[in-house]
Chains A and B, each alone.
Chain A
């Protein structure tokens, strides 16, 4: 099928884009277009106006300062995947990107686009949730920052107002040498995940877990953090019995079901994928002595 007619706008500045979004009726922002254009081809989405962020240079790129990494919303997934600095500081991003679509869609797809689209099975929102990322938003009423925990409100629904644009993602990298893993199950590589698990671990020099993050995609109407599982990890030295207990807690959720898998199957996947992610994250963790006390 072909998209319904629309008017195309390609503003050169963020201010211009915000002004257009505030004044035009039934307008939609397009980032990389890798989900939106498919929806427009099917006529699931029929905007009257399309506002392309592709010409706004300030929305692209990675900026590091002492504590915070700022990734512009229009930064292509490819750039994140192949950034040596990111592979070092936030290796979970690269691990998850291997599962995001295909090379051909990552070349155009953006980080901000994936977050704003908010597919419950999507990897990047799940990783941002695991990392306690903060989402920088600009709208007609000004700028604000929303924690990722409050950014997704439900099935493909976010905190973004109709007149707001996702501008950047702020991430505080974990200590160098932390453990990380992203595991997912999809019927074919690159397909939407049936379910997935992101795990971050950090331990002191005795191997005692001091900090843990466990997030799941595909099991609920949005990516979810598993606080009970995280609490059960902290203070422990990982072994198979701890992993089994934590994975069981992670999978103890009210899961959604659809034609790709019912709720029971998704809870099962959550347990299995969390188990694998804990094992891999643990094996990658460098339990060297902390640089700071």
Chain B
């Protein structure tokens, strides 16, 4: 019954080949097989949003996806957001605008907001709040993350305008 499968996945620009059990979730695969522990695992049933990653650029719950389904796909985790030196503009904005306290939900929020800002560089506060409904945060009351997202959008527009 415990059949295994060979998969090859591109994660943060690097290709990984592994043999996985069918029942291994993508979250457990990232954390335990690849060692990318920036993806956090909270509720394990798709409610809290801590495990959110990008699958082919689209935000998704890694606890509601099996690793075997990711063969040939391109993933981005929070570790893939780092720029060459220091933090990405979104991460920087989270630091500056009290976007986190304990940090457990943060990596998931960063992935969702990365998708939002790439789809829509000029989101309204309502649009930011709408995508953040998919994330539970018990520290910030969401005000900080919303401010951070809007500040990051402003900053990114500035960079684009200057280029």
Contacts and interface: CB of A to CB of B under 8 A. Distances in A.
Contact of A190 (B2, B63, B133): B133
Interface stretch (B11-19, B22-30, B86-94, B150-158): B22-30
Sorting the interface of chain B by its residue count into under 10, 10 to 19, 20 to 34 or 35 or more gives: 20 to 34
B53 to A, nearest CB: 10
B5 A103 contact: no
A38 interface: yes
B3 A8 contact: yes
13 contacts: A3-B23, A5-B1, A5-B23, A7-B22, A37-B65, A38-B64, A40-B23, A104-B60, A107-B59, A107-B60, A108-B58, A188-B133, A190-B134
Interface of B is mostly: mixed
B122 interface: no
Contact of B64 (A1, A5, A103, A108): A108
B39 interface: no
Interface of B: 1-3, 5, 21-23, 25, 28, 44-46, 49, 52, 55, 58-61, 63-66, 68-69, 112, 115-116, 130-131, 133-134
Given A8-B22, A54-B69, A190-B134, A34 B64 contact: yes
A41 B133 contact: no
Contacts of A132: none
A34 B5 contact: no
A2 B27 CA distance: 11
B60 A37 contact: no
Contact of B1 (A2, A6, A38): A6
A78 B60 CA distance: 12
A8 B1 contact: no
B22 A37 contact: no
Contact of A34 (B3, B46, B116): B46
Given A5-B2, A37-B63, A37-B65, A105 B28 contact: no
A41 B45 contact: yes
B65 A108 contact: yes
A190 B52 CA distance: 16
A256 B112 CA distance: 36
Contacts of A37: 25, 46, 63-66
B22 A105 contact: no
Contact of B61 (A5, A34, A48, A188): A34
A101 B61 CA distance: 12
B49 A104 contact: yes
Nearest to A7: B3
Contacts of A10: 69
A78 B56 CA distance: 14
Nearest to B5: A8
Interface in A2-19: 2-8, 10
Contact of A189 (B63, B69, B133): B133
Interface in A104-132: 104-105, 107-108
Interface string A95-107: 0000001111101
A33 interface: yes
Contacts of B115: 103
A105 B134 contact: yes
A52 B5 CA distance: 14
